[in-house]
A and B are shown apart, each in its own frame.
Chain A
Amino acid sequence: MTAKIVFENVGKTFRARGKTVTALQDINLEVRDGEFLVIVGPSGCGKSTLLDLLGGLSELSSGRILVDGRPVTGPGLDRGIVFQQYALLPWRTAQGNIEFGLEAKGVGRRERAAKAREYLDLVGLAGFHDRYPHELSGGMKQRVAIARSLAFDPDVLLMDEPFAALDAQTRDGLHDELLRIWEKTGKTIVFITHGIEEAVYLGQRVAVLTSRPGRIKEVVDVPIDARPATEDLRSDPEFTRYRHEIWTLLRDEVDRARNEELKVHV
């Protein structure tokens, strides 16, 4: 398979209170076409910064990011972002929100409506087209947000801890749903999380980041086939083994991050 996304020596520094903070350093990573890659790391390690860079929402300090061989210079409709807090327009209905991305792409009115219905259907919300965000539960809102990002047909779906604000049952349901959508649409997905189980459950590969400054510590292959078909995958011994492997990789980083934090606060 070819590389869809390439991170080359990517680094990002911020100026905060007169000091220069290095958020990300020497990130080298390739994401294959059609792959489901999960990036996992301790909180504050720069995971979201990495996604912002890939989304073209902030500028690189060093290195470059290539999507289909072309460097990222700004936001684009070839990449769709799903945010943790949904980012739905509260004055638009579910359908109106999905059409929002299509408007940005310049799709005609009638086709917009048809596409929006189609993707509402895909995320299992047929019949909810005229609901406003405040009339939907958290899980439903995130389904709408996913539908919105899929509807304008980007090649790559970037997901920034999309299920972190949801309760456990809703989250488990959406995991299976997302895998189903991924298999059906064949999108390349880059998914960010701090949850180890979530990472193993979803990712074909899991990239583990170090605590600040964020670097790629290791990329773990998780070759579990037919995930949604496996009953109670989370109890599977193979699943447990991968979970433990990534837990071990992360433990040191989490400890280090905590000590850093304590040092700052004391």
Chain B
Amino acid sequence: MSSVIEARPAVRAVPVVSLNRAARSAGRVAGAVLTRTVAIGLLAAVWEIFPRLGLVDATFLPPLSEVLTAWWDLLVSGQLWSHTEASLVRSAAGFGLAIVIAVPLGLLIGWYSPVANLLNPLLEVFRNTAALAILPVFVLILGLGETSKISIILYGCTWPILLNTVSGVRTVDPLLIKSARSLGLGPVRLFQKVVLPAAVPTIFTGIRLAGAASILILIAAEMVGAKAGLGYLINYAQYNFAVPDMYAGIITISAIGLLVNQLLIATERRFSTWRTN
């Protein structure tokens, strides 16, 4: 059994007790912030200093300040936003469609175990085939337009959601089902009141994984014959030897990835507060 008392955050308002203690807790906060930023700060410093000292070729790795200047110029000119917008629309469309399709499908497959047993080997094959390996197929069939890009993201996002939903439904505590049956609940209400809520945290884990996948696949898809998007920006800048622009695109992508992941983790946590492991 897990303990009843949840761990409290280390930072707490201490009004009266003593200045000494307040100072110590402030010190602790500062320490925590330092621990979390020191590695990134170090990377930024290396990125700035090494090209300037000539330790690496500044043509291929310009100092960070130059990259940031290029980033700012792209932002001001509106180019960065138009590329980001193009990328986010594709990502969101593929990701959203994947949720709409995979969650209901997963619920269905998980609930009818003969269907699950039948389809599981197939699902495993598809899941373990890297989405990017199939990208040329999508381009071949759907052309170079938006359809193929959204489709490949849809494809990549579907598997984590589908498999997690199936396993979420299938791993519901049998005792809860037995207990609900003893109350005379029919299959529909059993599903609605027991199976679905029990599966929600597992489904959200799948959605979080799919969110991360949507960004990863997006960039690769955009590097293959696109006219806009961050992947295109990175690739295009490299061809034209606009190296600082290339790095600006990379930084943007990694910031978006971080943001999306944090957002999804927060959402996932909200839906699984009752789950304590």
Contact = CB atoms under 8 A, between A and B. Distances in A.
Interface of A: 55-57, 74-77, 79-81, 83, 85, 87, 89-91, 100-101, 103-104, 132-138, 152
B179 interface: yes
A75 B183 contact: yes
B80 to A, nearest CB: 42
Given A87-B175, A103-B193, A138-B1, A132 B184 contact: no
Interface in B183-221: 183-185, 189, 193-194, 197-198, 200
A2 to B, nearest CB: 25
Contact of B183 (A85, A101, A135): A101
10 contacts: A80-B182, A83-B178, A87-B178, A90-B274, A90-B275, A100-B193, A133-B274, A134-B1, A137-B1, A137-B4
Contact of B179 (A81, A133, A138): A81
B181 A57 contact: yes
B176 interface: yes
Given A87-B176, A103-B193, A134-B2, A57 B274 contact: no
B276 interface: yes
Nearest to A81: B182
Nearest to B1: A138
B interface majority secondary structure: helix
A264 to B, nearest CB: 25
B3 to A, nearest CB: 9
A147 to B, nearest CB: 14
A239 B200 CA distance: 50
Interface string B73-94: 0000000000000000000000
Contact of B182 (A57, A89, A91, A138): A57
B184 A89 contact: no
Nearest to A85: B175
A91 B175 contact: no
Contacts of A90: 274-275
Interface in B76-119: none
B8 to A, nearest CB: 15
Contacts of B189: 104
A89 B185 contact: no
A57 B198 contact: no
Most chain-A CB neighbours within 10 Å: which of B175, B176, B184?
B184
A57 to B, nearest CB: 6
B2 A75 contact: no
A89 B176 CA distance: 7
A228 to B, nearest CB: 28
A91 B197 contact: yes
Nearest to A84: B175
Nearest to B174: A87
A136 B200 CA distance: 22
Nearest to A101: B183
For the complex of A and B, the 8 pairs showing the least CB-CB separation, nearest first, are: A87-B179, A104-B183, A91-B274, A134-B276, A81-B182, A90-B274, A75-B184, A87-B175
Contacts of A87: 175-176, 178-179
Nearest to A102: B183
B182 A134 contact: no
Contacts of B1: 134, 137-138
A254 B194 CA distance: 38
Given A55-B182, A103-B193, 17 more contacts: A57-B182, A77-B184, A79-B182, A81-B179, A83-B178, A83-B179, A89-B194, A89-B198, A91-B197, A91-B198, A91-B200, A100-B180, A104-B184, A104-B189, A132-B274, A137-B1, A137-B4
B194 A135 contact: no
A11 B247 CA distance: 76
Contacts of B198: 89, 91
Interface string B230-250: 000000000000000000000
Given A89-B194, A90-B275, A100 B183 contact: yes
Interface centre among B183, B194, B200, B275 (most CB of A within 10 A): B183
A256 B178 CA distance: 31
